[in-house]
Structure 1
Amino acid sequence: MKRKNRRKLWLPFISVIACLALLAGCGTSANETNNGANAGGKENGNLDNYPAEKIDFLVGFSPGGGTDTTSRKITQLLSGEKLVEQTFVVNNMPGAMGGMALMEQKKRQGDMYTIQGVSGFMTPLWTEGLGATLSDVQPIASLTNTEILIVVPKNSPYNTVTELLDATKEKNITVGIVGPQDGEDAFTWNKIRTAYDMNDLNYVSTDGISESLSLVLGDKVDATLLLPIVAKDYIETGDLKALAVLSDKHSEFLPDVPTLQEEGIDVISKRYYGVVASAGVSQEIIDYWSSKFEEMIELDGWKTYLEDSGLISEFHKSEEYIQYLETEGKEYQEYLQSLQ
C-alpha cells in the first residue's frame, strides 16, 4: 500500500490538538479561580489531615466509556470502603483523545486535590500541538492492563496470524482501526508491521470498538483488534476467529489463543489504566495515593469488577509506570514522524 495519503489522515488530529492548546492558554478554569481564593489551600501543605476536602477526579473521556467506568469504580471503592475519608467528584472533560483533561491538569500544578484516570500512554502528550508533556503530570500508578486480540471473520481463509500477515505480499489486506491513522490502533498495527516481513495494510477508521466489531462480523474487513470482553462470546459461537493475543502470556479469558511471540513476532502491546497527579505535588502525596490503590486492588469488589470488565490487574508504582509511558510515548513519536 502506498503511503502518500498518510499525511492527510494525520493532520486533522494535530489540528484539533493545536486548537485545544490555544484555547487552554486563553481560558481560566473554575478551579484556578478557587485556587486563587484559597491561596495555598489546594497546594502542597500540611498533610496531617490530608485529604481535608473533596477530591476532583478528572476523566478525559465521556461518561460510560471504559476509562470513565473504571474511574467511577475506583472512587466508589476508595470512599465506600473508607480507604479515603473524603468524597470524590468525577469530572468528565472529553475532547482531543483525553487532551482536554490533561491540559486542565497542567493548569492545576501543585494542586494535591486533583487526580486523573488515564488510559494507554496518554497519546496527546506525545504530539507537538497540545502544549503539555509528560512532565506536566505526575504518574502515581498503573492499575489494570487490557488484553488485545487480533480477530478475523468466521469465513476468513486465515487461521494463523502469520497467514494473515503473509497475505499482504499478495493482496491488499484491510483492517479496522478505532480512531484515525495516528491513533493507538494504527500504532499497534505498525509495531507488528515493523517486527514482521510484510507489506503495508489498508486501514478503515471507525468511531469506536462497536463499529469495528460490526465490520469484522459483517466480513467488511480482513481483521481488527478487539478486547476479549467484546470478542469472547462471538469467538465461542464461531462467529469470529482469534488469531493471536498481543500479551506476553496467554489471555486469562481465552487461554487457547496463542501470543504473537509464540507465532514468531516479537511484539507485546499493553494498554494500562493508570492514575496521575498534578505536577509539582510532593512525593508524600504520590506515596499516599499509591498506598491507597495498593489497598484497593485487594478488595473483592475490585477483583469482581476486573473479571466482569475483562481487565487484568497490573499494578505498577510510579517508577515502573513512568518507564512504560516513556517507552511507548517515544515509539509513538517516531511513528508520527513516519507519517509525515
Structure 2
Amino acid sequence: MVLVGCGNDDGEKADKASPSEASLTSETSSDSDDAAAWAPSQNVEFIVTSSAGGGSDIFSRTITDIMTKEGLCSETFLVNNKTDGNGEVGRYQVANTKGDKADHTLLSMNSGDCMDMLSNTDNRLENFKTLALMAVDKQLVFVTPDGKYENFNQIIDTVQSGKEVIVGGSKGSDVATFEALLKELNVDGDLLKYIAYDSTSEAITAILGNHIDMVIAKPAASKQYVESESLIPILALSDERFDGNLGEAPTLSELGDYADVQVPVWRSVVAPGEMSDEAAAYWSEALKKVSESDGWISGYLEKNALIGDYMSFEETTAYLEAFQEDYLKTLEE
C-alpha cells in the first residue's frame, strides 16, 4: 500500500453510447454544482487489482499524483494493490463497500478487468458507479535481444513448421488480443501457446528470465525496457504503427496477407455502487480536471503512447453498459 498526500482545501481545483453534446453540457454543469456540495473528509482508498509496475498501477498512481499536485482533494490517497483471486477480491470489496467509506473508495478498471469479472464471477457493472473513462491503450509484441526470434515473421514460420512458441501476457484484454491474433494467423493454439500472468509487469519479468519466447504488453509497462534495450518491439497490435522508439514494430498487415489485429483497452475509474451522487459528481469533476492537465496529456498519454478519450460520468456509464451487454452476448455463443 502506498500513501499519496493531497493538497489542502485552499489549493487550486484543478464513439459509442455517448450522449449528445447539449446533454453533456447540461450534465457537466449539474455535476459541478453537486461536486461543490461535497468534499472528501477521510483517507481515500484507490484499489488496483493488478501488481505494482503494470499498466493499471501506473494509470492509478499517475491520477493520484496529479490530484495531489493540482490540489484536487483535501485528504490522503492510499493506493492498494489487491491481486488475490485474479483481482476479483478487490473488485468484490469495492462492489460491497457501503456507508461513508463508499464515498472514499476508487477502483481502476479496464476492459480486461471487466472481461475477467464478467467471465468468472456474478459481479456486474451495476454494482459500481462508473466515474470516468480516461484513456485507450493498445498492445505490442516484444522479444528480447538474446531470445530465439528477431522478428514476427520468424515466429509465424516456426509455428507453421509445427514447432511450439510460448507467448506471455496479462489477463482479460491481452487474452482477447492473443485469441484474435491466433484466429487471424490461422494457427494451432497448441503450437502458439499463451500463459496468462497477473499483470503485464509479471509477464515482462518472465520474458526477461527467458521463460517465454515473446510477450504481449502495453506501452506504459514496456517502454522503459525498450529504452534500456531489454525488449524489442516486433509487432504493433494496432491498425497503425506507434510513435517514437515503438515505431519500428510493423502492423500485422505489413507482414503479409493479414488483417491488422487490435483489441483496444479502455481505462476507467469506478467506485462502489453505494457512493453518493454528490461524491460521484465530485470525483467525476476531479477526473475531468486530471484529463485536462499537462501532467496527464504530456506526462502520461504521450509518454506511454495512449489515446486520450475522456468520458464523463453519464457517458462512461452508457459506454460500459453497452460493453457489458455486448461481451455477455459473446459468452452465450
Q: Which runs of 5+ in 2 are unaligned?
A: 1-33
Q: Is 2:250 the counterpart of 1:258? A: yes
C-alpha distance in 1, partners of 2:320/2:251? Answer: 20
TM-score, length basis structure 2: 0.68
Q: Which residue, out of 78, 90, 93, partners 2:78? A: 90
Aligned to 1:104: 93
The percent identity for this pair of structures is 20
CA contact (8 A) 2:237 2:260 kept: no
TM-aligned CA deviation for residue 116 of structure 1: 1.9
Residue 274 of structure 1 pairs with residue 293 of structure 2: no
Query: Secondary structure at the residue paired with 1:315?
Result: strand
Q: Distance in 2 between matches of 1:220 and 1:63?
A: 19
Gaps of 5+ in 1: 1-45
Which of 174, 187, 194 is matched with 1:185 structurally?
Answer: 174
Determine helix, strand or coil for the equivalent of 2:143.
Answer: strand
CA shift for structure 1 position 283: 6.1
Contact 2:47 2:106 in 1 (8 A): no
2:59 aligned with 1:59, yes or no?
no
The residue type equivalent to 1:258 in the other structure is P
Secondary structure of the equivalent of 1:126?
Answer: helix
Counterpart of 1:80? Answer: 69
- Tell me the residue number matched to 1:139: 130
Residue matched to 2:310: 316
1:49 aligns with 2:41: no
Residues 1-340 of structure 1 correspond to what in structure 2 (within 5 A)? 48-51=36-39, 53-54=41-42, 56-61=44-49, 64-66=52-54, 67-84=56-73, 86-90=74-78, 92=80, 94=82, 95-108=84-97, 111-122=102-113, 123-128=115-120, 130-154=121-145, 161=152, 164-165=155-156, 167-178=158-169, 183-200=172-189, 201-204=192-195, 206=197, 209=200, 212-213=203-204, 215-217=206-208, 220-228=211-219, 231-232=222-223, 240-253=231-244, 254-263=246-255, 264-279=258-273, 281=275, 286-306=280-300, 310=304, 312-317=306-311, 318=313, 319=315, 323=319, 327=323, 331=327, 334=330
Q: CA deviation at 1:50?
A: 0.8
Larger RCO (alpha carbons 8 Å, 6+ apart): 2
Q: Aligned equivalents of 1:258 and 1:321: distance in 2?
A: 35
1:327 shift after superposition: 3.7
Alpha-carbon distance between aligned partners in 2 of 1:209 and 1:80, rounded to the nearest angstrom = 27
How far is the alpha carbon of 1:299 from its aligned partner? 2.1
